[in-house]
A and B are shown apart, each in its own frame.
Chain A
Amino acid sequence: MALPLTRFKARLRSLPPDLLWLTAGICLAVIPHIKRVPVWIPVLFFSMAVARVFLAIYVQRAQYQAVSFISLAKLLVAIVIIIGILASYGTLIGRDAGVSLLILLAGMKLLETRQKRDYYITCFIGLFLILTNFFYSETLFTAIYSLLAVSIFISALIAFNDKDNFLGSGELLSASGLMLLQSLPLLIVIFLLFPRVQGPLWGMPNDTHSGLSGLSDEMSPGTISQLILSDKIAFRVDFHDAMPAKSRLYWRGPVLWLTDGVKWVAGKPLPLQSPVSWSGTPVRYTVTLEPTDKRWLYGLEMPIQAPAGAFFSHDLQIKTTTPVRERRRYSLTSYTNYRIDTASHTELIEALQLPYGYHNKTIALGSSWRELGLSEADIVNHALRLFNEQAFYYTLAPPLLLKDSIDEFMFETRQGFCEHYAAAFTILMRAAGIPARVVTGYQGGTINPVDGYLVVRQRDAHAWTEVWLGNRGWIRVDPTAAVAPARISDGIESALPDSIIDIPLGLYNNAAIRELWRQVFDTFTAINNYWNQWVLGYNARQQFNTLSRLGLGELDWQGMIAWLILAVTLVFLLVAFLLFTNRPKHIDAARILYDKYCARMARLGIKRYASEGPEDFAKRAIQQRSDLAAKIREITRVYVAIRYGGQAESIQHLTQQVRSFNPSK
């Protein structure tokens, strides 16, 4: 029984280290992709990697070369992979499908790595896989992680060229780290001088936008306040007529009907659109929407007609058939005075839905108003007065609500953002028997004085409510306005406190932790900001400024290329100069091993003097540690034979001797 296990262990030790490094590198390159691709892809990949290592354990390298993979089998696997990817994505092209294909092909290539050529190809596929991580994330963390993975690949390349397995893992890593450090001057030169193009250098595939920030068709406490941190532009509006008052600029997005007590989602799609009647003056305008990857457009409440390629849903949201993945321009006409007089029976029932087992106190409060016999309008006003007169605060960093967000908000914390107010208000109305729904979208926007466009940013995201008052139809009620009127009249900036800090789970009450978190957060923000400003944000304009400050004058891209070539040449010349002048006398493998042995002896307190010959040292060492005599004699004998005897003692023997020489005090 024990025999196969010992054999397994022995073989494990004799595994070629270069293969292990290569496998580790490729796995590192794939790990960040695990959550980005369908689950079967990493599973298949990792099983191929594990299979390769096991094959290496049981089949020696020479035999492995002889094992000829049947090309038909390879072809079959490739076809299966292609079909699988086609089934998952519907295409082979594009970012996600391409990356998936690359991951699986890297796994296959790893599996058939037999010769030098395969080895190098696998290395370069792995390096390219690392690069694909930047399609998804350009954060500092990704950069550091990629650097680590690259150093593993360099170690793999060194290990592959180290035929005698002479270097240990630490030495390989430090060698590759040294190489990366040595490339630093080139990195700086190329970073500074490589011409930056205005706009993307190559077209990114369509699915790149899946990570875009923006409103979604779900709402839970925190979803909108996260958006407020973003300065990104949601859309721009060019008004053809006079712009309505700021307090009327409600840009309608997803309408949310259903709640499970935690989050709010859209209702069932209904076929019939509520008829709308308009009055007053029309407002004509053109919207330029930034890509959202979502299937809806935004319009000022209330547009009279959906633009081409879009349609109204029953709750008057402008929907599109395909996700908006490119900048989209559309013209609309809206009336800010409107009435939605009719509602279907299904709608009214949906608009009274309450989550089971949640918000009990809030619901009790709402139903108590109804029992008081107040009219519907009075109930609405009652609720608004409650928000206005009691100690409710409008804040972007509300205390965390753990169990029942609305009850805790209503009766304990009383600090919240628009989504808290909208949700709580809707629950109150529904409890009082008034049909109500949450509407999300944007509110306000800022006029750019240069071109006169109204710019609506992510931080203008907002949530409000609509209630059904039998005689007046669906009426917009914005409970946030009752708490923070400035939010509506003057915009988001005026309504927010100065400092905006996220505080994670449950730590809010501990002052020390809060302060620590604040410092960590600030530091992290600062580092990230530097990264964004100086690395990601190093665009054509910054490059121009930097180069001018360096005294290179106003450079066009030809000039930059010329300087780039000059600088790279200078760097290489410097490297060549250092290489040829500072050349060490010799790099003797036996000597390096002997030094390692001496270092181990020094750890025992027996230090070799620089001018002490190997035999003398051995004599002295044996005097102190007679228990190690045999080992010391053998290492000294082999070393002396190789270094001074010019004999054909194998360096591998010395390597083994020194490796296994690990005495303890």
Chain B
Amino acid sequence: MTITQAESTTYIATAELQHVIDAANSIILGKEDVLRLALTCLIARGHLLIEDIPGVGKTTLAHVLANTLGLSFQRIQFTSDLLPADILGSSIYNRQSGLFNFHAGPIFSQLILADEVNRATPRTQSALLEAMEENQVTLEGETRALPSPFFVIATQNPSNQVGTFLLPESQLDRFTMRLHLGYPDSSAERELLQGRDRRELLAEITPVLSSEQLQSLQSQAKTIHVAGALLDYLQDLLEFSRVCTDYITGLSPRAGLAILRCARAWALMHEHGHVLPEDIQAVLPSVIGHRLHLAQEQSATSPTSIAESLISQVPIP
């Protein structure tokens, strides 16, 4: 009885999520895998870091997600002179009432696009990251809860570009996933060049999912079954990353939790009913790409290849 119910809701969830992906796919061409991972991150209640060169559609992706999911959306352009108050908001004296009124900053929305987060000073960066971690903001002694769901998409230029402040590792760790968009393939690019303006298309998008539905998906993902054998596999992966001398530091327990949460969301999205080793392997490159660094920096080490080497070296128990 309960099983059939769970199965049916999972099925509905998958259908809904497919709608979201289809809608997004019509605007961001040829990036379905990235879209899936971004959605996974969202369902896993994580925050997303998109790292890529300018102009490949980072901002558009955030817009698309906000529009299709029907979330309140704010974009914060990070610059070197941005202050924490510009993000969080501040109290302003109201002459008529004689009181300080709180003016909420852009952070009080469900989906935040933190554009070019590495151009801001570390002080401003940490204001955002603290909010991400705590899901609340404390200003002038008053704690204010952030809306739910709360999802941050930060974009970042590659660190070797001019005028950037590198995010420290401790703060990178707070992003559940890091994704790369990359150039579109030739057919997608041709379609992009021939097609209508993306901005017009974006405006036409109607929400496919309500925020309540999204929240229900998030709580469903929590209930996906995780067997002992799967935890064995996850632990083997973590243990290997800590023991193997190829990496500077091993994966943190937070990383382990992030992998598991994402794997659950991935399993939900793919109608698995329970988490499989394949689910872990699917989300692993995006989850550990910004956390695991090779001790000897080799020339072409994409996050995928680090994850692939980790996966290939750990047998599934």
**Interface residues of A, Cβ cutoff 8 Å to B:** 585-586, 588, 591, 609-616, 640, 643-646
Contact = CB atoms under 8 A, between A and B. Distances in A.
Contact of A645 (B274, B281, B312, B314): B274
28 contacts: A585-B317, A586-B229, A586-B232, A588-B229, A609-B312, A610-B315, A611-B281, A611-B311, A611-B312, A611-B313, A611-B314, A611-B316, A613-B276, A613-B281, A614-B278, A615-B278, A616-B281, A643-B227, A643-B229, A644-B225, A644-B227, A644-B229, A644-B230, A644-B275, A644-B276, A644-B277, A645-B273, A646-B274
A646 B315 contact: no
Contacts of B275: 644
Contacts of A643: 227, 229
Contacts of A609: 312
Contacts of B281: 611, 613, 616
Contacts of A640: 274, 276
Interface of B: 225, 227-230, 232, 273-278, 281, 311-317
Nearest to B225: A646
B277 A613 contact: yes
Given A611-B313, A644-B230, 9 more contacts: A585-B317, A591-B229, A610-B316, A611-B312, A612-B316, A640-B274, A644-B227, A644-B274, A645-B227
Nearest to B311: A611
Closest 9 CB pairs of A and B: A610-B315, A613-B278, A613-B277, A645-B274, A644-B227, A644-B274, A643-B229, A615-B278, A646-B227
Given A585-B232, A644-B227, A644-B230, A611 B315 contact: yes
A591 B233 CA distance: 13
A615 B230 CA distance: 14
A591 B316 CA distance: 11
Contacts of B225: 644-646
A613 to B, nearest CB: 4
A451 to B, nearest CB: 75
Given A585-B232, A646-B225, A615 B276 contact: yes
Contacts of A616: 278, 281
Nearest to A615: B278
A595 to B, nearest CB: 11
A591 B315 CA distance: 13
A616 B316 CA distance: 12
A610 B317 CA distance: 8
Contacts of B230: 644
A314 to B, nearest CB: 89
A614 B279 CA distance: 11
B280 to A, nearest CB: 8
A213 to B, nearest CB: 63
A614 B232 contact: no
Nearest to B308: A611
B121 to A, nearest CB: 42
Contacts of A588: 229
Contacts of A610: 315-316
Given A644-B275, A644-B276, A645-B273, A613 B316 contact: yes
Contacts of A585: 232, 317
A600 B314 CA distance: 23
A647 to B, nearest CB: 8
Nearest to A641: B274
A611 B314 CA distance: 6
Nearest to B277: A613
Contacts of B228: 586
Contacts of A591: 229, 317
A221 to B, nearest CB: 71
A610 B311 CA distance: 10
Contacts of B277: 613-614, 644
A588 B233 CA distance: 14
A614 B280 CA distance: 13
A610 B228 CA distance: 18
Nearest to A643: B229
A76 B225 CA distance: 62
A517 B314 CA distance: 57
Contacts of A612: 316
A591 B229 CA distance: 10
Contacts of B311: 611
Nearest to B275: A644
A375 B167 CA distance: 134
B313 to A, nearest CB: 7
B270 to A, nearest CB: 10
A478 to B, nearest CB: 84
A308 B236 CA distance: 88
A90 B225 CA distance: 74
A643 B278 CA distance: 14
Contacts of A645: 225, 227, 273-274
A585 B235 CA distance: 12
Of B225, B229, B230, B275, most A-chain CB atoms within 10 Å: B229
A616 B314 CA distance: 16
Contacts of A646: 225, 227, 274
A567 B249 CA distance: 48
Nearest to A609: B312
A612 B315 CA distance: 8
A566 to B, nearest CB: 40
A612 B278 CA distance: 8
Contacts of B273: 645
Contacts of B278: 613-616
B276 A614 contact: yes
Contacts of A586: 228-229, 232, 317
A611 B316 CA distance: 5
A52 B108 CA distance: 81
Contacts of A611: 281, 311-316
A641 to B, nearest CB: 8
Nearest to A608: B316
A215 B282 CA distance: 87
B241 to A, nearest CB: 14
A613 B125 CA distance: 39
A49 B225 CA distance: 51
B274 to A, nearest CB: 4
Contacts of B314: 611
Nearest to B227: A644
Contacts of A613: 276-278, 281, 316
A399 B276 CA distance: 79
A410 B262 CA distance: 101
A616 B278 CA distance: 7
Contacts of A614: 276-278
B10 to A, nearest CB: 13
Of B230, B274, B312, B315, most A-chain CB atoms within 10 Å: B274
Contacts of B276: 613-615, 640, 644
A265 to B, nearest CB: 77
A619 to B, nearest CB: 10
Of A591, A609, A610, A613, most B-chain CB atoms within 10 Å: A613
A268 B225 CA distance: 95
A646 B311 CA distance: 24
Nearest to A619: B278
A643 B231 CA distance: 11
A588 B316 CA distance: 13
B282 to A, nearest CB: 9
Nearest to B312: A611
A639 to B, nearest CB: 11
A585 B239 CA distance: 14
A81 to B, nearest CB: 55
Nearest to B267: A644
Nearest to B232: A585
B315 to A, nearest CB: 3
A89 B314 CA distance: 70
A615 B311 CA distance: 16
